[in-house]
């Protein structure tokens, strides 16, 4: 029904009939709209466009930064958005949340979660609502989604190939002189892409062992079912001196409670509460993805609503990489604290400013390029941050 309404509105616009206030209204050079969307050259009024964002975050730095960023984009362009909390494992919670968003009149939904996604897509298709995703690799559902006209693709939580994380952690383990290392991860059944990090880590260590006078022993991988590492882990491996954690936030608290902060931790994920542990040398590596990467799925929804997709947009949806930001030393930590939007929530430090964002909306810039936007997302690394 929503799609039919938009088609009828488009036909009305072609006949030159002016209408007030609907999503799909053509914008003249002297018209006014919400936010700053009156920039010359804009050919679409987004004032009545609403985007839903569904994620598992209830609080924390990621949600704080995402909120500031979405506020800035919506103010610049004129659309509105609503963030709702879903579940990492309860499909029905997410399906119900999407049904509620659709009932509220959203034109598109950005998922920061992957549970119940095929059923969610069916709901969106039936309602004529576009779907995209952010900081999720969609491993459980991507093949079922990618050919739908209503699924626009997803931006991964960093690089889909996680090998670089494993390689970086292994290099640091070797540099730090550690010789007994454990690997902890979320279930590989649900996060199979983490296997690439484990394999790269193992391969790098094994290559080192070929010539090392003191080889490094790698213990059996421990999979966590979304619960904290148990204290008994350290009893099982009394010689342990380091851990590669692919289970963000679920290892360090146990190290503290078990009085094992002398073990070096190389972990994915980042929280401001971890800064003391990093500065004390307990954490030797942290990673994060830039929330500015949400700009691409939002832009694709806005372009789809305006019926103006990127000219170079592929017919089938893609997984899209974004930079992994590694923090491994004091210089990089300083750059994070002073220059990273994720940390400061200062919109002036965003890799993609709200003004730049409009140039990826085809209603503002008919020559906007999907491939160029993808290239921007993989040039938001620590090196790029330090070069600011």
Does the structure show a pLDDT above 70 at 21?
A: no
∠ CA 60-186-245, nearest 5°, is 75
Name the least confident of 26-30, 116-120, 163-167.
Answer: 26-30
- Residue 2: what pLDDT? 43
Say what percent of the chain tops pLDDT 90: 82
Q: pLDDT band at 1, cuts 50/70/90?
A: very low
Does the structure show a pLDDT above 50 at 37?
A: no
- Residue 26: what pLDDT? 31
211-262 pLDDT, tens digit each: 999 999 999 999 998 899 999 999 999 999 999 999 999 999 999 999 999 9
Contact 24, 46 (CB under 8 A): no
Contact 92, 109 (CB under 8 A): no
For the chain, the average pLDDT equals: 89
Identify the CA nearest to 274 among candidates 302, 249, 299.
249
What domains can you pick out in the chain, each with its CATH number?
A: 47-158+292-323+338-381 (3.40.50.2300), 163-289 (3.40.50.2300)
Mean pLDDT of 335-346: 95
104-115 pLDDT, tens digit each: 999 999 999 989
Number of helices (H), then strands (E), belonging to the chain: the values are: 16, 13
Contact 333, 279 (CB under 8 A): yes
63-76 pLDDT, tens digit each: 999 999 999 999 99
Q: Could you tell me the two tokens for 352?
A: 């993609």
Identify the CA nearest to 266 among candidates 326, 333, 222.
326
163-207 pLDDT, tens digit each: 999 999 999 999 999 999 999 999 998 888 899 999 999 999 999
Q: What is the pTM of this model?
A: 0.86
Q: pLDDT band at 23, cuts 50/70/90?
A: very low
- Residue 31: what pLDDT? 29
Q: How far apart are CA 313 and CA 371, in angstroms?
A: 8
- Residue 41: what pLDDT? 54
Residue length of the chain: 388
- Residue 35: what pLDDT? 42
Does the structure show a pLDDT above 50 at 30?
A: no
Cβ-based neighbours of 179, under 8 Å, separated by 6 or more: 214, 215, 216, 217, 241
Strand 108-112, strand 180-185: pairing: unpaired
Q: How far apart are CA 221 and CA 295, in angstroms?
A: 36
Does the structure show a pLDDT above 50 at 385?
A: yes
């Amino acid at each position: 029904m929503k799609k039919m309404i938009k088609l009828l509105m488009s036909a009305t616009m072609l006949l030159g009939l002016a209408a007030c206030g609907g999503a799909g209204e053509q914008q003249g050079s002297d018209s006014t709209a919400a936010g700053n969307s009156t920039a010359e050259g804009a050919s679409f009024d987004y004032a009545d466009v609403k985007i839903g964002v569904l994620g598992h975050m209830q609080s924390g730095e990621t949600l704080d930064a995402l909120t500031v960023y979405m506020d800035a984009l919506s103010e610049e362009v004129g659309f509105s958005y609503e963030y709702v909390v879903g579940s990492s494992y309860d499909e029905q919670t997410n399906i119900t949340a999407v049904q509620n968003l659709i009932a509220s009149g959203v034109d598109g939904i950005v998922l920061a979660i992957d549970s119940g996604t095929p059923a969610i897509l069916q709901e969106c298709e039936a309602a004529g609502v576009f779907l995209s995703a952010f900081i999720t690799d969609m491993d459980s559902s991507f093949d079922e989604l990618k050919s739908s006209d209503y699924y626009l693709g997803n931006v991964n939580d960093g690089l889909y190939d996680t090998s670089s994380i494993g390689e970086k952690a292994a290099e640091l383990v070797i540099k730090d002189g550690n010789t007994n290392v454990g690997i902890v991860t979320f279930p590989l059944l649900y996060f199979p892409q983490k296997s690439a990090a484990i394999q790269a880590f193992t391969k790098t260590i094994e290559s080192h062992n070929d010539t090392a006078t003191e080889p490094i022993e790698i213990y059996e991988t421990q999979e966590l079912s979304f619960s904290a590492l148990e204290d008994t882990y350290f009893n099982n491996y009394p010689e342990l001196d380091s851990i590669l954690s692919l289970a963000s936030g679920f290892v360090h608290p146990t190290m503290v409670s078990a009085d094992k902060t002398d073990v070096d931790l190389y972990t994915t994920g980042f929280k401001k509460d971890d800064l003391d542990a990093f500065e004390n040398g307990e954490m030797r590596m942290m990673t994060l993805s830039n929330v500015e990467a949400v700009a691409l799925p939002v832009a694709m929804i806005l372009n789809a609503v305006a019926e103006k997709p990127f000219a170079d947009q592929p017919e089938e949806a893609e997984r899209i990489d974004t930079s992994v930001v590694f923090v491994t030393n004091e210089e990089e930590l300083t750059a994070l604290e002073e220059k990273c939007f994720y940390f400061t929530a200062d919109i002036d430090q965003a890799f993609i400013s709200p003004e730049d964002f409009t140039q990826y909306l085809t209603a503002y810039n008919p020559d906007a390029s999907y491939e160029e936007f993808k290239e921007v997302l993989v040039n938001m690394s620590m090196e790029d941050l330090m070069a600011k």
